[in-house]
Amino acid sequence: MTGMKHRGHPRSRSRRLVRPGHWAVNARVERFVEPTLLLLLRERPLHGYELLDRIPELGVEGRVDMGNVYRLLRALEDEGIVRSEWSAELPGPAKRTYELTNEGRQLLDRWAEALQRAQGTIGSFLDRYEASLGTVRSAQSEQ
């Protein structure tokens, strides 16, 4: 199979071949920014810049685009999941402060349940992976 060309196949967003035999893999948690924002807002109302600064606290890797965060916040507000108001109490210009609604708390609960299921699936995969390492090592030492 070496030397095979993969023309016509879509490129994977989660892996890429760095050089022959060496892969870079990004185990992405799709749409993890949404539950992250909801959890941060359950802790206390925050404005957009504070949210952007605190997102990495929950393990979101890489740069999160501020425009995408604000678009997501507006969409969540349109759905009644968060609400916002202008606050002039903070230093500097007035800022829009966001807080979670009851609907948002219910959605956060569903996110937590879904992530617990995903954690179980990932745990099962990693347990089996670790067990297979022992099998592979045993087979290699017998050769």
Tens digits of per-residue pLDDT, 9-61? 456 667 788 888 778 777 666 678 999 999 999 999 999 889 999 998 888 77
pLDDT at 4 over 50: no
pLDDT at 2 over 50: no
**What value does the mean pLDDT take over residues 60-83?**
90
Taking all residues of the chain, what is their mean pLDDT, rounded to a whole number? 84
Q: Which CATH architecture has domain 26-135?
A: Orthogonal Bundle (1.10)
Closest by CA position to 17, among listed 2, 39, 32: 2
Question: Regarding predicted confidence, which is higher, 65 or 126?
Answer: 126
pLDDT number for residue 1: 44
pLDDT number for residue 64: 81
> ∠ CA 122-22-62 to the nearest 5 degrees?
55
pLDDT number for residue 88: 72
Radius of gyration of the chain (CA): 21
